[in-house]
Amino acid sequence: MGSTITIQAQNYDLGKVTIAELNEKVHPKDNSAPAAILFKKGRTYFGYNKDVGFYANHVCEVKIKIYKKEGLSWANQKVRFYIGYDKLNEDRLEFSDAVTYNLENGNIVKTKLNNQGEFKNKINQYWKEKTITLPNVKVGSIIEYKYVLRSENLVKFPDFDVQFSIPVDYFYYKTQIPEFYIYKPILIGGIPLETESKFTGASQSFDNAYSQTSSFSYKQIETFYKGKDVPALKEEPYINNLENYRGSIQQELERVRLPDQPVKDYSLTWEGVATTIFKEDSFGKQLNQGSLFTDDLNKLLLNVEDKKEKLDLIFTYVKNRMNWNEINSCYTEKGVEKAYKDQTGNVAEINFILINMLRAAGIEANPVLVSTIQNGIPIYPTRTGFNYVIVAAEIDGKKSLLDASHKLTAPNILPLNVLNWNGRLIKKDGSSEEIQLDPAQQSREICSLIVKINPDGKMNGQARVQRTDYDAYSFREENNTKTEDAYLEKLENRLGGLQISNYAIENQKSNLDQSVIETFSFASGNRSDIIDGKIFVNPLLFFTQSKNPFNQEKRQMPVYFGYKNIEKFNLNIEIPEGYTVESLPKPFRISSEDKLMSFILNFSVSENKIQIVSQKEINSSIFAAEDYGMIKEFFQKMVVSQNEKIILKKI
């Protein structure tokens, strides 16, 4: 549960603003902070009525100090709430006690939010959002607000976040949960906190069917969590999703044991998750629809016997026919039959169509539940932690992972936001297994250049760039909608003003399981310096990395590269006539202790040619925050080595 801390008693109530707080110019522990949350208090308690039984109230009170102009955006507060239930009433959210405090002529002046400062809008069929904009907010202001979220969803409470892009001085969260409901608290982000639980008495009054007031008593589990001095969560380069590391207190329902009713288990084991999810009409029933596709399959697979060939044909067919509606889900909305007819659907509908067709063709195929990078990492057995589903197809004991919702994927090449640790393959019989989503094979980017340097320092030549696997997929995704002219203009600028001609590309929009290969000629007028008749050249020319991307002192979060990768350069440079090599940089080699990162730079000279080979390998998609010092030093040494010059002198 992390380390514990002791917090001295202090008044953390709305409406208790002091002149000293309003006079404070900078945050005492983080002078760079544009604002700070002076306190965030939360409480979850249950209500009861005869129609729905128990429901939850989630109360949140927040007090924020604005220190700088950049902090003024905290005057806008948004809270989302869920409306997409099948069998429950939609959540309700109400803001109150929204006040701005300013110091004017030594006096505290309060400005209350009026109705014009509150807005409600629908995000999609599942979510609505309420927004408030606090009035009269300026540098130095203190703002406060409160909201109450009422929800009949007792399976998963809203997360109680305790870490933000600004510091949090103090947080307190209290849950009062009837003994009939057993929740598992999940603490994210390793924030030190103090926690304690105890049994207390509780009761509920409600109007019965005869409009009389009835009541009942029970025991409840009262738990509090509190902490202080939570540092700001800051964006850092090479991070998969900030939300995965945000300090947060989450509660997920494990078991319900209401009086005179059988005990209901939710998600104690992965087998329980698999069994429960298959009972849902929008999941299990949708995976038993193979007969819908018989006619189309017979046409598609006419005279095809090989299972691998069948898989490729079906996968390509579903990708081409279906169009993703940009909704991620493990469950269907309109069902596979209607989605297939409409040729559009959510992730589950498209990939369930693929499973049905593969099974109908005699190929074993099962759903794999995934949590996208944006959704976080389901560490414990959970139904609600997954928001995406892909396909595992098995031929001769070998699995291929497929996602037909994105047009540019290939077997075992998934959308980048799906590469989030592990997925969970589930079967109808309740069995399940962990599926490694991190690709085992390194993706490669290999650049070969033949370059001629002229006596005036200008250069021209030919280049060939080959990208495999995820490097190829990333390239396709990034450039799929660009015109060739727009792409080349961007490439010329990125490579320092090159002039590119004779450009050709292979396999950008077809043969998606093959490498993307670019070839082009280039001319450059500004790639080398001439000083005292000597020509100074960067070894990697216009591909030279000039800055270390890792420049923070410390790192809070893991370093995420996305996938394993090899970046290789082969350069063959022709020395201008009348010149010779005066000096070359020393060959350079560096490797991390665990061999998960390495870099080499080698030189050789033959007659009037310089051969240069550079290779950087990243053999892990993610590194712990403790490795940050090593990574920073590795990249720094690599950048320095690339910026040592080749010196050519006149003979």
pLDDT digits (tens, 9 = 90+) for 411-450: 999 999 999 889 999 998 888 899 999 998 999 999 999 9
Q: Residue 379 sits in which domain range?
A: 270-436
CB proximity list for 398: less than 8 A, separation 6 or greater: none
Helix, strand or coil for residue 274?
helix
- Are residues 240 and 299 both part of a single domain? no
pLDDT greater than 80 at residue 207: yes
* Domain assignment present for 288: yes
Check residue 527 and give its pLDDT.
59
CA dist 576 and 596 (Å) reads 39
Taking CA atoms, 297 is separated from 284, 290, 323, 357, in Å, by 22, 10, 19, 7
CATH code for the domain in which residue 225 is found:
2.60.40.3140
- Whats the size of the chain, residue-wise? 651
**Mean pLDDT, rounded, for 87-99:** 94
**598 within domain boundaries:** yes
Amino acid 8: pLDDT: 46
Residue 227: phi and psi, rounded to 5, are -160, 175
Residue 186 — pLDDT band, cuts 50, 70, 90?
confident
> What is the rounded CA–CA span in Å between residue 385 and residue 188?
13
pLDDT tier for residue 9 given thresholds of 50, 70 and 90: very low
Tell which of 265, 297, 331 closes a domain.
265
- Report whether 145 contacts 16 (CB < 8 A): no
Question: Cβ(277)–Cβ(368) under 8 Å?
Answer: no
Q: Which of 421, 465, 466, 417 is nearest to 439 (CA)?
A: 421
Instruction: Assess whether 258 and 279 both reside in one domain.
Output: no
Nearest Cα to 131, choosing from 75, 77, 197, 64? 77
CATH of the domain at 513: 2.60.120.1130
Q: Are residues 488 and 400 in the same domain?
A: no
Is 468 within the bounds of a domain?
A: yes
Tokens of 254: 């494990």
Mean pLDDT calculated for residue range 7-27:
86
Q: Quick one: 361 and 450 in the same domain?
A: no
Phi, psi of 93 (to 5 degrees): -130, 135
Residue 589 belongs to some domain of the structure: yes
Which residue type sits at 215? S
Q: Does residue 53 sit in helix, strand or coil?
A: strand
Per-residue model confidence as pLDDT tens digits over 496-538: 899 999 999 999 999 999 999 999 999 997 657 888 889 999 9
In this structure, the answer to whether residues 302 and 193 fall within a common structural domain is no
Q: Cβ atoms within 10 A of the Cβ of 260, count? A: 4
Establish if 80 belongs to a structural domain.
yes
Strand partners, 452: 460, 574
In the prediction, which pLDDT does 384 show?
67
What is the rounded CA–CA span in Å between residue 200 and residue 192? 26
Contact in structure between 432 and 426 (CB atoms under 8 Å): yes
pLDDT, average across residues 543-552: 92
C-alpha–C-alpha distance, residues 302 and 294, integer Å: 12
What is the average per-residue pLDDT within 112-132? 85
User: Mean pLDDT across the stretch 139-163?
Assistant: 96
CA angle 248, 249, 252 (to 5 degrees): 125
Distance of CA 62 to the CA centre of its chain: 27
Domain holding 326: CATH number?
Answer: 3.10.620.30
Q: Write down the residue that tokens 């509908």 correspond to.
A: 349
Distance, first Cα to last Cα, the chain: 71
Q: What 3-state DSSP class applies to 312?
A: helix
Note whether 146 and 95 are within 8 A (CB): yes
What residues contact 524, with CB distance under 8 A and at least 6 apart?
A: 458, 459, 460, 496, 497, 498, 499, 541, 542
**79 contact partners, CB below 8 Å, separation of at least 6:** 93, 95, 129, 130, 147, 149
Q: What radius of gyration do the chain's Cα atoms show? A: 30
Which among 196, 154, 185 is positioned nearest to 46, based on CA atoms? 154
| Conformation bin of residue 87: beta by default, left when phi > 0, alpha when psi is -120 to 50 | alpha
List all residues 6 or more positions away from 265 whose beta carbon is below 8 Å from its beta carbon: 254, 255, 272
Output the pLDDT for position 254. Answer: 86
Label residue 5 by pLDDT band (50, 70, 90).
very low
Residue 98 in any domain: the answer is: yes
Q: Are residues 379 and 498 in the same domain?
A: no
Helix (H) or strand (E) holding 517, with range, is: strand 516-524
pLDDT tens, residue by residue, 370-418: 999 888 777 666 666 789 999 999 999 999 999 999 999 999 999 999 9
Give the range among 138-152, 323-337, 379-393, 543-557 with minimum mean pLDDT. Answer: 379-393
Please say whether the beta carbons of 22 and 137 come within 8 A.
no
What is the CB-side half-sphere exposure of residue 510 using CA atoms within 13 A? Answer: 2
Please give the Cα distance from 461 to 249 (Å, whole number). Answer: 58
Coil, strand or helix at 347:
helix
- Residue 16 placed within a domain: no
User: What is the tens place of the pLDDT at every residue in 488-506?
Assistant: 999 999 998 999 999 999 9
Query: pLDDT averaged over the chain?
Result: 93
pLDDT band at 7 (very low <50, low <70, confident <90, very high): very low
Task: Say how far apart CA 266 and CA 385 lie, in whole Å.
Answer: 13
Question: Per-residue pLDDT for 269 more than 80?
Answer: no
Domain-terminating residue out of 222, 244, 265: 265
Q: Is 426 in the same domain as 447?
A: no
pLDDT band at 188; cut points 50, 70, 90: confident
Q: What span, in angstroms and rounded, lies between the C-alpha atoms of 515 and 414?
A: 15
CA dihedral 209, 211, 217, 223 (to 10 degrees): 90
- Whether 400 and 305 map to the same domain: the answer is yes
Whether the Cβ atoms of residue 389 and residue 307 lie closer than 8 Å to each other: no
Is residue 645 located within the same domain as residue 542? yes
Phi and psi at residue 120, to the nearest 5°? -130, 135
- SS3 of 236, please? coil
Determine the average pLDDT of the residues in 10-19. Answer: 89
**pLDDT in the model for residue 376:** 77
In a domain, 5, yes or no: no
Query: How many distinct helices (H) and strands (E) make up the chain?
Result: 9, 36
The three-state secondary structure class of 293 is helix
Q: What total of structural domains would you count in the chain?
A: 3
d(CA 477, CA 509): 10
Shared-domain flag, residues 447 and 469 = yes
Beta bridge pairs of residue 622: 560
Residue 2 has pLDDT above 60, yes or no: no
Helix ranges, 396-507 (H)? 469-479, 484-494
User: Are 365 and 455 in the same domain?
Assistant: no
Whose structure tokens read 């074993």? 364
pLDDT reported for residue 139: 98
Residue 549 backbone dihedrals phi, psi, to 5 degrees:
-70, -15
**Whether residue 586 sits in one domain with residue 561:** yes
Q: What is the pLDDT of residue 244?
A: 75
Which of residues 384, 410, 436 is at a domain's end? 436
At 217-266, the pLDDT tens digits run: 999 999 999 999 999 998 888 888 777 788 999 998 889 999 999 998 77
> Sorting pLDDT into bands at 50, 70 and 90, what band is 576?
very high
And the tokens for 175? 């849950």
* Plot region of 168 (φ>0 → left; ψ -120 to 50 → alpha; else → beta): beta
Percent of the chain with pLDDT over 90: 80
